[in-house]
Amino acid sequence: MANQAVEAAQQVSSSFTSDPDIDGLVGLGFDSLNTVSPQKQPTWFDNIKSSLDAPVFTADLKHNARKSSGSTLDPTLTDLATAGHYNFGYIDSTAYTGTITYVSVTTSPGYWTWTSSGYAVGSGSFTSTSISGIADTGTTLLYLPSTIVTAYYRQVSGSSNSRTYGGYVFPCSATLPTFTFGVGSARITIPAAYMNYGPVATNVCFGGLQSSSGIGINIFGDVALKAAFVVFNGGSTPTLGWAKKTL
């Protein structure tokens, strides 16, 4: 892309330098989050929007395919269970079923911030409650309020909030429930298998859902995003669209 600035990193985490598949971060947030100095520059997406057929990109992340990820929010995790692809400028109608449900987006301070309409654990009833958070493809896990996280792991035999591992863990043999979150009147269900991030010790697995209390913001990261086909509409009135994936 002509006139696209690229900033060289001054400090790099070990998760980047130790993995040959990582070259850097594209950065698909809004320009207000841009920290390029000494002169601010438009992000790559903002730079190309006017040349696209539509000012959108879509994320169709997959489970159980290798991809490494890093984020300014979560730079130390390497996700071995998420890969997929992005499309820019169009929405592939073969990638989803049913309809796309769009919700409004708050662009300050630069994240794709939206509000979920509630949640359900397994086959339990849906709890209607507003959950404001960001959709972030660069964050591996799903981070939600402690009350929701506690409600989930109450259904997981042998689970505990571990200081050693910095979050909820459980026996790898444990049966996990699904997790559902609301997008307006629509529902996105995360399969139980996605809720197991992976082993951290012999027969000890780390949960894909963790508390956001230490972060200060709820994050719908890859664990949530890979359960849906997600449309990031960066038009004059930005919106976020969610749909069920085509299997």
Q: pLDDT, tens digit, for every residue of 121-147?
A: 999 999 999 999 999 988 999 999 999
**54-245 placed in CATH 2.40.70.10:** yes
- When pLDDT is cut at 50, 70 and 90, the band that residue 171 belongs to is very high
For 6-70, give the DSSP string.
Answer: -PPPSS--HHHHT-TT-------S-GGG----SS----HHHHHGGGSSSSEEEEEEEESS-----
pLDDT for 67 equals 40
Task: State the average pLDDT over residues 19-28.
Answer: 71
**70/44 Cα distance (integer angstroms):** 18
**pLDDT mean over 207-222:** 96
Angstrom CA distances, 216 to 115, 133, 166, 213, stand at 15, 10, 16, 6
Verdict on whether the full-model pTM lies above 0.85: yes
Question: Which structure tokens are listed for 102?
Answer: 């769009």
| pLDDT greater than 50 at residue 205 | yes
Domain extent listing, the chain: 54-245
How confident is the model over 51-89, as pLDDT tens digits?
999 999 999 998 875 443 333 344 333 343 347 889 999
CA dist 245 and 181 (Å) reads 15
Residue 71 · residue 40 · CB < 8 Å = no
**Residue 68 pLDDT:** 39
Q: What is the mean pLDDT of the chain?
A: 88
Specify the pLDDT at position 21: 66
Beta bridge partners of 118: 128
Could you tell me what percent of the chain has a pLDDT over 90?
Answer: 66
Distance CA 42, CA 150 (A): 40
Lowest mean pLDDT among 21-25, 69-73, 90-94, 233-237: 69-73
* Lookup: tokens for 223: 């664990």
**Per-residue confidence (pLDDT) for residue 65, from 0 to 100:** 56
Nearest 5°: phi and psi at 31?
Answer: -55, -30
